[in-house]
Structure 1
Amino acid sequence: MSLDTPQSLGEYRLELTTLYGPLIGGRELGRVLGFSTQEAFRQAVKRGNMPVRTFAINGRRGKFAATADIAAWLWSACHPLEPPYPTTKKGGV
């Protein structure tokens, strides 16, 4: 990641996507989500305690998550008063 602090979710998403690509899986996924060990990550998956949606890919081992989902989750954890996605007023305005 760059030395500059991202000023928006979009910038943060772009930085993570540049670093990891559109999907994060394997040991990287557990590390990015803040699990101290792979066993802790496996237990969270088994118990359904994942902070983002994870999924399997046919023919590949392990779980994967969309980098954009991880960016939104991390952004909302660091900026709890800001919604991770733009909101619109009723009536589409």
Structure 2
Amino acid sequence: MNVFFQLWDTTTGNLVTEFDSEEEAIRALREVRAEDGNEPILEYALVRFQDGRPILVAKESDLVFYLARAVDPAGDSVAAGGRSLRQSG
């Protein structure tokens, strides 16, 4: 079973970045929230791909709620690290 996650910008329709795991996506989104608040997350959609088929995890305000309820495997309420999601330009 091949599983990965993609983060999409819902305002532009552009792919922002890709993650190998849900945990990696959560860490990166928490980093964005820590730096810039929830505003940027309101423009994102997180999609899980399983065996080539996309499944919407959450988008926009639902993604903010999903992130708030997600628990880091280490038990941390806020995780650091992850890939930067900032786009240049």
Normalization by structure 1: what TM-score? 0.28
Structure 1 or 2: more helix by fraction: 1
* Structure of higher CA gyration radius: 1
Normalization by structure 2: what TM-score? 0.29
Structure 1 or 2: more strand by fraction: 2
